[in-house]
Amino acid sequence: GITLNGSDVSAWADSAPAGLYDMVQDTATEQPAYSAGVLTFASADINNLQTSGANIELTGDFTIGVKLHMTAAGGTLLGDNDINGEFIRFTSTTELRIRVANATAVNIDKDSGTFVEDAYMVLTRASDVLTLYWKGVAQADTETKAGTASIDAIGIRRTDTNPYEGTISEIQIYSSSSAALTANINDRLSTL
């Protein structure tokens, strides 16, 4: 599902049957690099991809899985580049911040070690409770956050702020949450 502009990514197709949320980048200097199935985002170049159509709107339960290797803290993994206060961002090497509907952000702290490693994560919201799974392990810190999460960008938030530094090889987003779904995503991402 990757469209290349030389060795950079100009589009990443949505693999869901409806295919509503293709991610694109028309500005060549902001296109992430691509090699062997991995997209590399350089924060200095504000590398990002944005939806070509409607925003992804997560109104209730959700599950987000990502295979990544963050190389520097401070970057936005997923966000909205048009609306204030919509993002999932690594604010430090041990803290993930989630802000929904421009309301007060919540932080989930990593149990031990740092996020700066080749890893995979699953973030779930079930009945407004956010749980982070890092490399298949649920972190002890959970937070409560209601509201509609709006996503239209990978690698930045409004406006071209807090660009992500690192790699991403897969993103899965579901508008539901269950133990079985979380287990399946963790299993899938652990093989990449």
CB 181 within 8 A of CB 187: no
- Give mean pLDDT in consecutive 10-residue pieces for the chain, a chain of 192 residues: 97 90 97 98 97 93 98 96 95 97 96 97 98 98 97 97 98 98 98 96
Tokens of residue 14, six digits: 């949505």
Instruction: Tally the C-alpha atoms within 13 A of residue 80's C-alpha that lie toward its C-beta.
Output: 20
10 Å CB burial of residue 44 (0-12, 13-18, 19+) is exposed
pTM beyond 0.95: the answer is yes
Predicted local confidence at residue 60, as pLDDT: 97
